[in-house]
Structures are given as structure tokens and as C-alpha cells.
Amino acid sequence: MNKIKKVAIANRGEVAVRIIEACRELGIQTVLLHSEADIQSIAYRMADETFLLGGSTTAESYLNIPKNVEGALKTGADAIHPGFGFLSENADFAQAVTDSGLIFIGPKSETIRQLGDKVSAKRLIEKAGVPTVPGYMGDDQSIQKLVSEAEKIGFPVIVKAAAGGGGRGMKVIRNLKEATELIESAQREGQSAFGSPIVFLEKYLDRAKHIEFQVFGDQFGKAVYLLERECSVQRRHQKIVEEALSPSLTPELRKEMGEAAVRLAEAASYNGAGTVEFLLQDGKYYFLEMNTRLQVEHPVTEEVLGVDLVQAQILTADGTFEQWLQEDLIPHGHSIECRIYAEDPYQGGIPSTGLLGFTEWPEGEGRRFEVGFEEDDRITSYYDSMIAKVIVWAEDRHEAIERMIETLKDVTVFGVHLNLPFLVQILDHPEFRNGKFTTQFIQQHFPEGLKGVQDQPHNKSLLLKSLKNLEVLAQEPVSETPFSGPWATEWRHR
């Protein structure tokens, strides 16, 4: 008999929709734990029940542990799915969930704690026999020690807040002269942003690729690797384009890295979905960090392997999951995901907010859309500006790139600016196409998005004539009969 009959979703946007859809397919009821602003979202309308956590700020809602637990208990949920971001890697939250008698869909809180702290995670992986980036993570946090260690490692060196994550709390030190100032700054920021001034140092791999392995541990802690994703297209450590598989791995390297990732997962007795991130440079790989949650880019793995990771997570938490056999995980084709951000790429990517108007996601073969909002929803500035993801699958990488470009050009969203034209430029760039791009790609070729690279189309004549058409239409009663105005030769009212 299944334990989980109702899942409370402690998240928002397109991932909340994703989890609801997975639950529906399993015949499980859903409760959305949401903020005030997210009443205007697709997930709110799709969930079987909803529970208002509080106001619109993340502190009042998605980061509020007692409120989330209260919502799940009050609505009679059996389990909580934390999605990604927010509380998904918060060991205290996982603990609070299980303490209250609910099931946490994810690894155990002790596992999250152990792997969430970069320092202890690194020690674990050294025990599991996986190479790490040369660095220093000692207890001696005096400035003299840190500067001398940085010099030993060899510049460029990156100083990271031990309690940071998701690309935040990191600085690059290029020479001895700036070492003291940058290290002290990182310590101060670590204290104020993450509550801890502890930093560690790593050699900065300045032309590396970001290769991550999806791992999955069953309820007994037996793990397999679901191959890799390449996520080197990043802006300020925030991923924009991801793909499976990586164009940069040989089968031998894939097997070696995958097995290393599994060794780590099993050393940690990992349950559920996790991701082991590596940096690959000059044929050598180094452990970066392990993420103890479902990742944004999980769909590309699902597409090439034909699996459903969210369902697997739920079934694992339910105790009924049948683990995959490593030899059965054979990839087919190539998949690419683009993150759709509400921002103006022609103005360097400044966030765009507003009321959504007409939206059209062009369905078709090998196309998958994960969308959080639709017409009449308001996109606000309270949260991350990602509002959707576009995923394509094709027989090979070249075809996948072409299919993605075509799909992006056919997307229509009115009301907020989106990064669509920026994504097209990225995918069409020779360095992306030939697979040689590294994590420096965006910085090198698009440091300010499309600003300075391409101008927004501005056809004054078309704009004014379209305006005239709309004004005329507004005067007419809504009707199905065709109309011909002074410049329109044919129109259709939606």
C-alpha cells in the first residue's frame, strides 16, 4: 500500500507545475504551498488544493520553515516536495519535515548537512577517491595563512564562502597584490549573506567545462549514474543553456567520472536524486560540489534516457521505487535546455516585470515546455526571473541546436521582455556549435548580453500601422467577420 497519497509542494513557477504533473500521473493529490504573488500562476490553478504561506517576499513564504510545515499538516499531506532552490537543500527544513511526521522527498537531513557544507563534502569525496581542485580548506582562517596558501596554489585562485551556494559568495584573485583585500571581502560577505565568514580557496580553472553527473540512490542507498549534462554556458555562475550528453566526453571518461560520482553517492548513503558537479580542463576532472536536490536542468537527462526523475523521487520516498540497472541506462539522441528569463537582453539583461499578455509556446515534435505563467499573470520582482524552460530532443547535437533555434524564434510572449534573442545568438555561435566552449564563453562573447552585439528590431512603420489597426479594432465590437482597414489586408481576432 502506498504511503504517499497527497504531496505538498514547497515551491513555485514551472517546477511546481512539473511536480503536480508527476503526481497526477501517479494518482497522487497535490497541495501548493504558495505566496501571495503566486496566486497568479499556472501551478496555483492546477493544484488540487492550495495553502497561502504569507506575503510575497521569499522570507515570508518560500523560506519560512514553520509555515511550510504547517501548510502541509493542515491540508493532510503525507509528504513535501521541496523542488530546487529555497529550502530544498536546507537540512533544518528536512529535519523539521520528518520531525513533524511528514515524508521529505529528498535525501536524509544528515546527508544534506554533510554534503551541503563544501568543506565536509570535499573531505568525503577525497575519502571516496575522487580528484578535487587543488585548494585550501583548513581551519586556520587567518589572513596570513590564507594569502600564503593562495600563493602556494598558484594564481588565479578563487576564494569561496564555505556556506555559500548556487554561484554566490565567490571572488577571483588574479595576483598576490589583490589577495588580502579580496579574501577579507569574501569573509565579510560570507558573514552577512550566509552567516559564516569561513572561506576556502581553490585553483581557478579558467578554461574549464562544467560537467555534472545525475546520480540516483534508491531507498537502500544503492546508486547509479544517469550520465552527464554539460552546463558551461553560464553568466556569473548562473546556468543558461544545458545539454545531455556533453560533446566533450569520451566513453572512457564518462564511465570513469560516472563511477566516481556513484562512489560519492554511496559513501554518503544517498537517497533520491542528486547531482555531482565537476570541472573538466585539459582532459582532467575535478570535483566541484554535490547538489542534494533535483536540478533545474533535469529534463535533458530525462529526454535522452526516457526516464521521469520526479516520479522516481516520489516513489523512492514512498519506498516503492525499483532502481534502474546501470547497464539499462543507454542514451539515445541529444537534448538541449534553454532557461527563459524575464529580462531585456538588449539592455544587458536587466529584469523585466509586468502583466503577461498573449503567449504562445509552439508545440511540436521533440519540443517540451515547462512554463510557470500564462496570460493575465503578473511577473513580479520578488523572485528569480526564470519563468519557463524550453527543452528539445533530436537524433544528434546538430539537429538539436537547429530545432532549439527554430523553436525559440517561434515563441511569442507579450508583456515582459525575454532572453530569447540572446539564446539564439548563443546557440548559433561557432564556439557553441563546435562544442569547444568553456565556462568563460558568455564572459568572452556576450559580457553584456546582446548590448553591443545586436540591436532590438525596431520597425517604426510596422509599429505605427499595427497600433492604428489595434486602435481601430478596439472601436469595433468583437466579431468573427473579417475586416479590412486602411493597411491591414487580412486579420484575425483572437
Partner 1 sequence: MKSQSAQFFVEGVLCDAQIIEGVLWLKTDEGIQTLDLRNRFQTQNAGQKDGKTITAPMPGKIIKIITEAGSDLAVNDTVIVMEAMKMEYQLKAVKGGTVRKISVQVGDQVQLGQLLAEIEVG
475 binds partner 1 (CB under 8 A): yes
492 binds partner 1 (CB under 8 A): yes
Residues 6+ apart with CB under 8 A from 174: 155, 156
Q: How many chain residues bind partner 1 (CB under 8 A)?
A: 39
357 binds partner 1 (CB under 8 A): yes
DSSP letters, 98-109, are HHTTPEESSS-H
Q: On the CB side of 184, how many CA atoms lie within 13 Å of its CA?
A: 6
Neighbours of 486 (CB within 10 A): 8
176 binds partner 1 (CB under 8 A): no
| CB of residue 90 to partner 1, shortest distance in Å | 37
| CB of residue 361 to partner 1, shortest distance in Å | 13
Q: 449, exposed or middle or buried, with CB in 10 Å at 0-12, 13-18, 19+?
A: buried
Q: Measured between alpha carbons, how far is 355 from 116 in angstroms, rounded to an integer? A: 37
Q: Which C-beta is closer to partner 1: that of 300 or that of 408? A: 408
420 binds partner 1 (CB under 8 A): yes
Scanning 212-220, 245-253, 269-277, 469-477 for contacts with partner 1 by CB under 8 A, the matching segment is 469-477
Comparing CA positions, the residue from 279, 267, 122, 310 lying closest to residue 213 is 279
Active-site residue, selected from the candidate residues 12, 254, 293, 397:
293
**Coil, helix or strand for 359?**
strand
| CB of residue 430 to partner 1, shortest distance in Å | 21
Scanning 28-36, 137-145, 417-425, 434-442 for contacts with partner 1 by CB under 8 A, the matching segment is 417-425
Sign of CA dihedral 122, 128, 133, 134: positive
In contact, 213 and 275? CB cutoff 8 Å: yes
Query: Phi and psi at residue 434, in whole multiples of 5°?
Result: -85, 0
412 binds partner 1 (CB under 8 A): yes
143 binds partner 1 (CB under 8 A): no
Which of residues 129, 431, 448, 491 is near partner 1 by CB under 8 A?
491
Which of residues 169, 349, 415, 449 is near partner 1 by CB under 8 A?
415
x/- contact string, 206-245, with partner 1 (CB under 8 A)? ----------------------------------------
Q: What is the DSSP letter of 71?
A: H
363 binds partner 1 (CB under 8 A): no
Question: Is 207 assigned a catalytic role?
Answer: no
Long-range pairs, 281-287, Cβ under 8 A, ≥24? 281/205, 281/207, 281/208, 281/209, 281/438, 283/253, 284/131, 285/131, 285/211, 285/253, 285/256, 285/257, 285/260, 286/131, 286/132, 286/133, 286/205, 287/122, 287/125, 287/130, 287/131, 287/132, 287/133, 287/260
Neighbours of 396 (CB within 10 A): 9
Q: Which C-beta is closer to partner 1: that of 177 or that of 494? A: 494
| CB of residue 342 to partner 1, shortest distance in Å | 13
| CB of residue 13 to partner 1, shortest distance in Å | 21
Q: Which C-beta is closer to partner 1: that of 193 or that of 470? A: 470
Q: Which C-beta is closer to partner 1: that of 268 or that of 413? A: 413
Q: Which C-beta is closer to partner 1: that of 154 or that of 354? A: 354
In contact, 237 and 170? CB cutoff 8 Å: yes
Q: Which C-beta is closer to partner 1: that of 253 or that of 473? A: 473
| CB of residue 147 to partner 1, shortest distance in Å | 49
In contact, 337 and 391? CB cutoff 8 Å: yes
461 binds partner 1 (CB under 8 A): yes
Residues in the chain: 494
Question: Is the backbone of residue 110 left (phi > 0), alpha (psi -120 to 50) or beta?
Answer: alpha
489 binds partner 1 (CB under 8 A): yes
| CB of residue 381 to partner 1, shortest distance in Å | 15
Which of residues 46, 52, 453, 488 is near partner 1 by CB under 8 A?
488
Q: Measured between alpha carbons, how far is 490 from 461 in angstroms, rounded to an integer? A: 18
381 binds partner 1 (CB under 8 A): no
192 binds partner 1 (CB under 8 A): no
| CB of residue 36 to partner 1, shortest distance in Å | 19
414 binds partner 1 (CB under 8 A): yes
Amino acid of residue 455: D
Interacting residues toward partner 1 by CB under 8 A: 354-355, 357-358, 409, 412-415, 417-418, 420-421, 456-459, 461-467, 469-471, 473-475, 478, 487-494
Annotated catalytic sites, by residue? 293
